[in-house]
Amino acid sequence: MSGKVWFITGASRGFGRIWAEAALKRGDKVAATARVLADVADLARNYGDAVLPVALDVTDAHAVRNVVTRAYGHFGKLDVVLNNAGYALVGAVEEADEADVRAEFDANFFGALRVIQVALPILRRQRDGHIIGVSSVAGIVAGPITGFYHASKFAFEAMHDSLAQEVKGFGIKVTLLEPGAYATGFASMASLRIAPTIEAYSAIRAEVFAAGAKNQFGDPPATANAILKIVDAENPPLRFFVGTEGLPRARAAFAERLATWEAWDALSKAAQGEARQHNIAS
Reply yes or no on whether 191 is catalytic.
no
Q: How far apart are the first and last CA of the chain?
A: 51
Question: d(Cα 250, Cα 195) in Å, to the nearest integer?
Answer: 28
Q: Is 135 a catalytic residue?
A: yes
Choosing from 4, 29, 153, 173, the catalytic residue is 153
Residue 134: name the closest of 110, 108, 100, 115 by CA: 108
Identify the active-site residue in 29, 47, 72, 135. 135
- What residues contact 261, with CB distance under 8 A and at least 6 apart? 268
The yes-or-no answer on residue 12 being catalytic is no
149, 152, 173, 182: which is the annotated catalytic residue?
149
The bridge status of strand 192-194 relative to strand 129-134 is: unpaired
Q: Which residue numbers are catalytic?
A: 135, 149, 153
